Structure 1
Amino acid sequence: MPLKLSALCVFLATTALAAAPKPALPPGVVVKEASGEAAIVGGNVDKAFNEAKAAALREAVEQVAGVMVSADTLTANSQLISDRVFTNSAGYVRRYDVLGREVLADVAKVTVRAEVGTEQLDKDLQAVQALIRRLGSPKLVILTQEQTVDPKGVVTNGGLFATVLTEAFKQDQWTIIDPHFAAGKVRLLPGVALSATEAKEIGDLSRADYILYGTVVFRQQPPTVNGIIPEVDAQGRQLVFSVSGEYDLAVFATDNGSQLAKVAGKFASGPDDLGGPSKAVISYDRTAYEIARRRGQRIVTEVRAPVIEYVRASQQDGNRVSMTVLGLKDYAAVQAFRKVLAESLTGLKGEPGKATFGKEATRFDLTFLGGTDELAGQLGGKTFQKRKVLVTGVTANTVELTVAP
């Protein structure tokens, strides 16, 4: 009888434990199940499983982010948001359990159940959305010197890379400025050689906020025999059209001429740049196009990051604004206008920079805690020396004013 009673007690205790509700999740936590995969390279299964687990956790966080962000914002700026989540996904996961691990052919797959903290994620996504609004389809001009060297060493100029980059940046919500304004006015130099003064001048000519400037070289490789598979057929006709080369580009902000990033690399007709060998069997032009298309997407991503950091710093430390004023008749008027700016602008950080005075226009460099629309709103319709001040131009980092006669 005592033995039966003990067994009954154990049964009741076990039943009560099984029936107990699971602990409630703390506020600001969402549970998601997700899977990730990674290729097994060199037989290193453990490394592949770790990479697959990291991919699964990123997927769980991105699922939560996708619910938290409006559909329009996610569609128009999915890559920007994905970049932010990707770089900090581990920071949003409070804890996780691995539900399954398996190997399928040469791919490791991991499934996880992750607890994702939404409070910090929400703050970060709101910051990204604020940056998206702040960027406001920034104006970019692409100025490249592009050359193609054929198998005989003949060099021709082209614009394939610029064309592909233009389409990629347009898809990323940038406003692309037609580079034809530069004809006869901007001399492209080999390599990335652009001074701050030159960058500002290009900004003045193009009305662009940013410049992507540099050189690209495509080298068409002659058909060769690699010892196993000939690259010409029995009649000597070329079968494979291989291309190699390099690019050397830099990104400049036109408000102060500073270089924000350097984007450089080499490319070749391999799977990394073509997505597979078949893309190199039609023509040199097709091979070059496929390389430019794939590299173009990477360059967009590489350019976006420093621009976002630049904008973020501008929000925290002040946005550098180049203000052009037309109609200031003499240097005394310039000094008087500078004093008015210093005394009347709300959000001006420090004193206006030393004015650059010219016969037709005067430029002031300002640091302003806010956007150029806000700055223009403060100045438009004001009077200076009994003359009306008109806002005649606004970009992300420039404001043009005209003092009426």
Structure 2
Amino acid sequence: MKALKLTVLSCLLAAVALAADAQPELVTQEATGEAAIVDNNRDKAVQDAKNAALREAVEKVAGVMLSSDTVTANNQLVSDRIFTNSAGYVRRYDILEKKEEGGVMKVTVRAEVGTAQLDKDLQAVKALVRRLSSSRLLVVLQEQSVSSDKVITQTNVLSQTLAETFQKDGWRIIDPAFAAGKLEVSSGVSLLTPDKKVIQDLRSADYIVTGTVSMRYESAKAAFELNNYFPVTGEFELAVFATDSGTQLAHLSDKFDSQGVPVSVSYERTAHSIAKTRGQKIVEDVRKAVVDYLSKSEQNGNSVVVTVTGLADYASVSEFKKLLAQTVTGLKDVKQGDFTKGKATFDALLVGTTDDFAAALSKKTYKGKKVSVTGITGNTVEITLAR
């Protein structure tokens, strides 16, 4: 009887704990937004301030549902995916106060925020954050500086800036000296389409930023020569590739000058300031391209290269392809690639992770041989057939 009472009590406690953890369907949140009054257009200012208040309400609710480290380290991603669509989470709202202070309109609202769709979208963001945090990035740029007397010097100003910024953002940076495969970058700014096979061979990285950067050290005007004025102009042309498919995800190009950055002390410091300023925008563009690619792969599948060692002949390659297609859950498509000296490659379209894919394969056998997974990355799986 005593044991029965303890069991009932344990169930009650578990039910209470579960109820406490469950999110209510609606969360009521008060928030205030502000907007400047431009050209005496108070109606527009009220609308903008109200929208800002609703966004603030959604941010507060999402902040409770998300861990602080996720919000802080991935603020831009959360903002792009969640906060810019804040109106979609608000079921209803009341305006509690409108007031004007010093040319600024302030609106306070009480909003009812629906948690079901918000939580679903937040979970999707968390999944992207996890994938981004394990992404391996290779930055391979051909950089040069050209002095006013036409002396060309190889530099790595933007490469270093990008690597440092991406690393702070949680990416794993691959040293080009240790990258598998070989990628050559032309010094010309127009060659940005490396062979697809070359990209796919760089399997130590998941993504590659490659391209050219040219910085010109301009002669200072006479009026500034005594003031240590060191202006720099130039241009960059970059491309972002996914190594699993060789797909180009983004193409970025622009010209730049010293406007808005410190141009004193030396040309090198001016170049560094430009790289730091432009680098942040480049990082955001690259990140967006990768996030969009990952989002699509979550729905449509992700390209994975499967290498199999131990196949006797071409007929065995075709039979193993059928094994992959028929027995592995999440495999949407598989195509035969190269076959030489008992080793075959397959290009697979996979919905899910390579870890789950490898776990499923490890349970299979082929003609009495154990399917042994001997290598795995985010977009490659290596298999050896052994008795």
2:111 pairs with 1:123: no
Of residues 264, 267, 276, the one that matches 1:281 is 264
Q: Partners of 1:239 and 1:219 in 2: how far apart? A: 17
Of residues 9, 29, 32, the one that matches 2:30 is 32
Of residues 229, 235, 242, the one that matches 1:253 is 242
- Partner of 2:303 in structure 1? 320
Go from structure 1 to structure 2 and tell me whether the alpha carbon gap of 1:114 and 1:306 turns closer, same or farther (over 3 Å shift). farther
Residue pair 1:199, 1:252 contacting (<8 A) in 2 also: no
Go from structure 1 to structure 2 and tell me whether the alpha carbon gap of 1:364 and 1:205 turns closer, same or farther (over 3 Å shift). same
- Partner of 2:279 in structure 1? 296
Residue pair 1:232, 1:239 contacting (<8 A) in 2 also: yes
Cα-to-partner distance string for 1:171-192 (whole Å, 9 max, x where unaligned): 1111111111469932212336
- Partner of 2:293 in structure 1? 310
Q: Partners of 2:283 and 2:201 in 1: how far apart? A: 24
Cα-to-partner distance string for 1:321-380 (whole Å, 9 max, x where unaligned): 111222324323222211211222122214x21232133632101112211111011112
2:88 pairs with 1:91: yes
Q: Partners of 1:246 and 1:61 in 2: how far apart? A: 40
2:169 pairs with 1:172: yes
TM-fit CA distance, 1:166? 0.5
- TM (normalized to structure 1)? 0.79
- TM (normalized to structure 2)? 0.82
Larger of the two Rg values belongs to structure: 1
- Partner of 1:22 in structure 2? none
TM-fit CA distance, 1:80? 1.8
Residue pair 1:150, 1:220 contacting (<8 A) in 2 also: yes
- Partner of 2:321 in structure 1? 338
2:356 pairs with 1:356: no
Please tell me the root mean square deviation across aligned C-alpha atoms, in Å.
Answer: 2.9
Go from structure 1 to structure 2 and tell me whether the alpha carbon gap of 1:391 and 1:173 turns closer, same or farther (over 3 Å shift). same
- Partner of 1:347 in structure 2? 330
Go from structure 1 to structure 2 and tell me whether the alpha carbon gap of 1:122 and 1:381 turns closer, same or farther (over 3 Å shift). closer
Letter in 2 for 1:377: A
Residue pair 2:180, 2:203 contacting (<8 A) in 1 also: no
Letter in 2 for 1:201: V
Q: Partners of 2:338 and 2:122 in 1: how far apart? A: 40
Q: Partners of 1:186 and 1:214 in 2: how far apart? A: 11
- Partner of 2:13 in structure 1? none
- Partner of 1:372 in structure 2? 354
The size of the alignment, in residue pairs, is 358
**Structure 1 residue ranges without an equivalent (≥5):** 1-25
Go from structure 1 to structure 2 and tell me whether the alpha carbon gap of 1:218 and 1:100 turns closer, same or farther (over 3 Å shift). farther
Q: Partners of 2:83 and 2:236 in 1: how far apart? A: 26
- Partner of 1:158 in structure 2? 155
Of residues 179, 188, 191, the one that matches 2:189 is 191
Residue pair 2:216, 2:234 contacting (<8 A) in 1 also: yes
Letter in 2 for 1:301: E
- Partner of 1:224 in structure 2? 221
Residue pair 1:323, 1:366 contacting (<8 A) in 2 also: yes
Cα-to-partner distance string for 1:234-286 (whole Å, 9 max, x where unaligned): xxxx5222222222111111111111111222222222xx3xxxx22121111
Q: Partners of 2:177 and 2:335 in 1: how far apart? A: 32
TM-fit CA distance, 1:85? 3.0
**Structure 2 residue ranges without an equivalent (≥5):** 1-23
Q: Partners of 1:267 and 1:246 in 2: how far apart? A: 6
- Partner of 1:71 in structure 2? 68
Secondary structure of the residue aligned to 1:355 is strand
- Partner of 2:21 in structure 1? none
Q: Partners of 2:235 and 2:30 in 1: how far apart? A: 43
Go from structure 1 to structure 2 and tell me whether the alpha carbon gap of 1:130 and 1:99 turns closer, same or farther (over 3 Å shift). same
